[in-house]
Amino acid sequence: MYKKDYMKAWRERNRDKILVMRKKTRDKLRADVIGAYGNQCNCCGEKEYKFLGMDHMNGSGNKHRHEIGKHSSQAFYSWLRKNK
């Protein structure tokens, strides 16, 4: 019980630090996945990183995310990296 209480208090004291670490992790994951797909859009050839993302043709990406049980972008990117 002591460790659980300690960790809860630590998280409360370091909320900003945790948010920064999570953002770095998300950003690296996104960069890894987009890099694995060639750092450009397969449809139009767009290379500007801020415009790139992972989705399916004809808007079926949301359906696929729900089928594999990955609703957030981060969970979906993790799934993509794991399943190559």
Tell me: the pLDDT tens digits for 15-57? Answer: 999 999 999 999 999 999 899 989 998 888 889 988 887 766 6
Is the confidence at residue 78, as pLDDT, over 90?
A: no
> What CA–CA distance (Å, rounded) separates 55 from 77?
10
Question: What pTM value is reported for the model?
Answer: 0.69
For residue 7, the model assigns a pLDDT of 93
- pLDDT, residue 14, reads 95
* 3-state SS assignment for residue 63: helix
The tokens describing 28, both together, are: 């690296």
The answer to whether residues 64 and 56 touch, using CB atoms and an 8 Å cutoff, is: yes
pLDDT-derived band at 75, boundaries 50, 70, 90: confident
Q: Taking the C-alpha atoms of 33, 76, 81 and 60 in order, what is their torsion angle to the nearest 10 degrees?
A: -80
